[in-house]
Amino acid sequence: MLPELLAPAGGMEQLRAALRFGADAVYGGLKSFGLRAFAGNFDWDDLSKALDETHAAGKKFYLTLNILPYDDELEGFVSAGKRAFAMGVDAAIVSDLGAFLKLRREVPGLPIHISTQANTLNAEAARFYADMGARRVVLARELSLQRIADMRKKLPETLELEAFVHGAMCMSYSGRCMLSDHLTGRGGNRGACAQPCRWEYALVEKKRPGEYIPVTEDERGTYLLSAYDLNMMAHLPEMIAAGIQSLKIEGRMKTEYYVANVVSAYRRALDLLAAGEDAYRAALPSLLSELQKASHRASNTGFYFGPPAPAAGAAGFSQDMEYVARVEDWRDGMATLHLKNRFYVGDTLELLSPAGVFPFQVADIYLPDAAAHVDTVSVAGQRVVIPLPHPAGAGDFLRGPNRNHL
């Protein structure tokens, strides 16, 4: 049986992209009580819409309530859990033990998933959560696949195991980091991390203040604390064999294009695995290439095969292709687009749709309001019309050459 493919939803656009491109479930947060304060997140009206759209698609919505709350926040925390449960969320993701126990007492019908922030590293801890009523444990990121497989054998079948398959990794132990608090006053465990691990650093000798000694990682600078991204596309059979029932993509701060791109690649991979491992292996080069077309840092396999080497040093983002436009409508070979980035007549673009990836050359560009032909468009949010030879649907994406890399 294939594992669940779980996608991030930082807002409605990302949620719709995740559902359209093949996620089995999504996770997202409210404006409070989650660990991504700077994502779009959902107010109560948006959450209602999100639940309606998710359940209409036959998928599940997990609500992140994984902040570490103080005593004076617990009543509001539980009230949010009660309201979300009444609205139909499929589970709450919780990291704090006290918050978990209080939710179990006061909202007994709400399924609970234990967050990776809880640092679950062994079967005894996982069994404790199961005995207390948890439905699922999101495993600590520092576990190897062998350790996960050993844990799975010791746990009741009713307890589901979830693990990360792709995305950014925190340099600290399962994300429990105080660096942002110390340097900026913005608490990572309160959802407001400033990501100082991604900053460029230099050495200063104690008796020579102001004399900065660079420790060069590459031509872009020194990023000693910046963890590599996780990319397990080439190791899905091993993850499934270890007993992981939900594969989680990180990225609630990411764009809808990123979500569509990554979800689409992993959906295709899992569907190919269902047909046979040979089909999946044959497609791996194109699947790995596909993941390079969305924003990413250098990647490795995290701790799944032992401690990562190097453990840190990933600099800025790169991507092989650029998000150009979102399809709003397609009729009789003509597509109405919501523009994101500039493109030109003559460019070779790609249509990213649930049916696949289809390259084509831009033959013409129209401004619908002025009924005018133009050679290029560049105003983000502008509506334009182009001939598009491949059938497309609302919510598909066009991408083109990343001109910053040319």
pLDDT for position 25: 98
Walk along the chain (406 residues) and give the pLDDT tens digit of each residue: 899 999 999 999 999 999 999 999 999 999 877 555 555 689 999 999 999 999 999 999 999 998 888 999 999 999 999 999 999 999 999 999 999 999 999 999 999 999 999 999 999 999 999 999 999 999 999 999 999 999 999 999 999 999 999 998 876 655 666 666 656 666 655 566 666 666 666 667 778 787 776 665 555 555 556 678 899 999 999 999 999 999 999 999 899 999 999 999 999 999 999 999 999 999 999 999 999 999 888 889 999 999 887 666 666 678 889 999 999 999 999 999 999 999 999 999 999 999 999 999 999 999 987 678 999 999 999 999 999 999 999 999 999 988 765 4
Q: Which neighbouring-strand residues pair with 365?
A: 374
Helix then strand then coil, in percent of the chain rounded to 5, is 35, 25, 40
Structural domains present in the chain: 4-167+231-296 (3.20.20.70), 321-405 (2.40.30.10)
Query: CA distances (Å), 344 to each of 321, 394, 402, in order?
Result: 15, 22, 13
Would you state the pLDDT for residue 123?
98
Distance CA 314, CA 205 (A): 24
Stated as kind and residue range, the H or E segment containing 258 is: helix 256-275
**Residue type for 214, please?**
P
Instruction: Count helices and strands (H / E) in the chain.
Output: 10, 22
Helix (H) or strand (E) holding 167: strand 160-167
Q: Are 84 and 64 in contact (CB under 8 A)?
A: no
Cα angle: 284, vertex 290, 293; to 5 degrees = 155
Cis peptide before 368 (omega within 30 of 0): no
In this predicted structure, what is the pLDDT of residue 188?
A: 56
pLDDT, position 211: 75
d(CA 317, CA 258): 13
Q: What is the pLDDT at residue 406?
A: 45
Q: State the pLDDT at residue 169.
A: 81
In Å, how far from its chain's centre is CA 365? 33
CA distances from 56 to 50, 61, 88, 257, 263 (A): 10, 11, 12, 22, 19
Look up the pTM and report it: 0.87
pLDDT score for 298: 83
Are 262 and 248 contacting, i.e. CB atoms less than 8 angstroms apart?
Answer: no
